[in-house]
């Protein structure tokens, strides 16, 4: 992505891997030299190319964790 600077500060985990080798990762990423945020997106094997994703602040991550803790995931009608 032209003009976009990023640095993966810490790799936190891999959620899945696609057939082309791209991985859906959870990382701590600094975008354009700003304070790092939690980032969830697909990355190529060298973390040079990325897909669309979502970034979360610490407060958003806390809210997401609270919501997920309250959900009975096995009861959700999903794949």
28-58 residue pLDDT tens: 999 999 999 999 999 999 999 999 999 999 9
Domain limits for position 55: 6-75
pLDDT bracket for residue 2 (50, 70, 90): low
33 part of a folded domain: yes
CB burial of 40-60 (b: ≥16 within 10 Å; e: otherwise) equals: bbbbeeeeeebeeeeebeeee
Q: Is residue 1 part of a domain?
A: no
What number of other Cβ atoms are within 10 A of residue 29's Cβ?
Answer: 23
What CATH number is given to the structural domain containing 30? Answer: 2.30.31.70
In a domain, 71, yes or no: yes
Tell me the CA distances in angstroms from 39 to 18, 22, 58, 66, 79, one per residue in order: 18, 15, 11, 18, 23
Would you say residue 27 lies in a domain?
yes
Number of compact structural domains in the chain? 1
């Amino acid at each position: 992505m032209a003009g976009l600077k990023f640095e993966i500060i810490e790799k936190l985990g891999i959620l899945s891997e696609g057939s082309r080798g791209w991985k859906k990762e959870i990382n701590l990423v600094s975008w354009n030299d700003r304070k790092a945020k939690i980032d969830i997106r697909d990355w190529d094997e060298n973390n040079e190319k990325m897909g669309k994703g979502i970034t979360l602040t610490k407060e958003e991550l806390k809210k997401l964790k609270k919501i997920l803790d309250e959900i009975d995931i096995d009861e959700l009608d999903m794949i």
